[in-house]
Amino acid sequence: MLTPKHGKITKRDETLLRVFKWVPWLGFFLLTFPAPILFLLLFITATATDTAAVYLILALLTLGLGALVSLLLVILVFFFRRRWLRNLRDRLAADGITASEVIWFTAELTSAERKALTELRTQNPLLADAYQETLASRLTASRIRQRAGKELLRIERRINRARSLSGVDTGTLIGDLQADHDRFVQLKSEASGRLAEAKARLQTIEAAASRSLNQKETDLMLRRLNSAQDQLPLVLELAKLEHQALTESQLAVGESDPESRD
């Protein structure tokens, strides 16, 4: 059995992801439809009325049971896949999240971040790379801050338990726990600062992308307006010539009409 490398995506991980993607659909069709289709064919080919009724009942019964079993399978695979992905993300984040690994942390992105990343990938690949790199920093800082907060709660509970002990010298223990507490407070503070910097950088990239798009749209509209303005004198001249030709043709028709001459 292959042992996953620490903090790296393996072929086994990619294979399991494909399995989790297709197993629910394959299981649904294989568990739901084969037996009902078989009994339905037997129902169509049956010659006796009683036998046909039995086959029809079996077809409906197996269809319902198959759908129920397949639904349970989908739910089971969903929860197992969710747990596997959570463990995989923890393993990847153990040595820091890289830009190429952001795709595995889509569930931890906000809806605005997912939307911005999708738009940048189609409109500006260079900014998309910078945005994805910053997302990796944001995810790493968020996880460090969250983990430091959990450790602080554990250390505070240990300090309270140590202080509640009576008849025992717990000064050294409390001093060590307090040192750990101070260290995690500093770590949480530093992670919060890195998180704020990453969020500010994300907004800067989004603003730059929006500014670039707005500038492109504005330039396009200005070019169309200038083109329309350049064509306006020509359009007016053609309209004037058309009006003159129509007037001259009307005069010519009037002069050639005998009744108009009388």
Residues 146, 175: one domain? yes
3-state class (DSSP) for residue 252: helix
User: What is the model's pLDDT at position 254?
Assistant: 60
pLDDT surpasses 80 at 245: no
Residues 113, 239: one domain? yes
Confidence at 5, pLDDT banded by 50, 70, 90: very low
- Is position 83 within any domain? yes
Residues 39, 109: one domain? no
| Type and span of the H or E element at 108 | none
Residues 11, 136: one domain? no
Mark which of 94, 117, 147 sits at the end of a domain: 94
User: What is the model's pLDDT at position 215?
Assistant: 56
User: What is the model's pLDDT at position 242?
Assistant: 67
Mean pLDDT of 210-221: 61
- Is position 54 within any domain? yes
Q: Which spans in the chain are helix H? A: 11-32, 34-45, 49-93, 111-123, 125-164, 171-256, 258-261
Residues 199, 211: one domain? yes
Residues 42, 128: one domain? no
CA distances from 215 to 1, 55, 129, 208, 212 (A): 55, 69, 21, 10, 5
User: What is the model's pLDDT at position 255?
Assistant: 59
- Is position 76 within any domain? yes
Domain boundaries, position 127: 96-243
Mark which of 74, 94, 114 sits at the end of a domain: 94
Residues 84, 46: one domain? yes
- Is position 252 within any domain? no
Residues 115, 238: one domain? yes
- How many structural domains are present in the chain? 2
Residues 106, 197: one domain? yes
Q: Which two tokens stand for residue 156?
A: 């505070």
Confidence at 212, pLDDT banded by 50, 70, 90: low
User: What is the model's pLDDT at position 260?
Assistant: 47
Rounded Cα–Cα distance for residues 262 and 259 (Å) = 5
- Is position 254 within any domain? no
User: What is the model's pLDDT at position 189?
Assistant: 93
Mark which of 46, 63, 94 sits at the end of a domain: 94
Residues 101, 158: one domain? yes
User: What is the model's pLDDT at position 1?
Assistant: 33
User: What is the model's pLDDT at position 229?
Assistant: 47
Residues 136, 238: one domain? yes
Residues 57, 144: one domain? no
User: What is the model's pLDDT at position 3?
Assistant: 39
In terms of average pLDDT, the best of 27-36, 227-236, 253-262 is 27-36
Confidence at 240, pLDDT banded by 50, 70, 90: low
Handedness of CA 61, 62, 68, 69 (dihedral sign): positive
- Is position 77 within any domain? yes
- Is position 85 within any domain? yes
Percent of the chain with pLDDT over 70: 78
Closest Cα to residue 128, out of 119, 136, 137, 139?
119
- Is position 161 within any domain? yes
Mean pLDDT of 173-191: 92
Chain position carrying tokens 């064919």: 41
Rounded Cα–Cα distance for residues 175 and 164 (Å) = 15
Rounded Cα–Cα distance for residues 191 and 188 (Å) = 5
Cβ atoms within 10 Å of 67's Cβ, excluding its own = 15
What's the DSSP call for residue 167?
S
Mean pLDDT of 203-219: 72
CA distances from 211 to 205, 215, 248 (A): 10, 6, 55
CA dihedral 107, 113, 117, 123 (to 10 degrees): 150
Q: Which two tokens stand for residue 133?
A: 């790199």
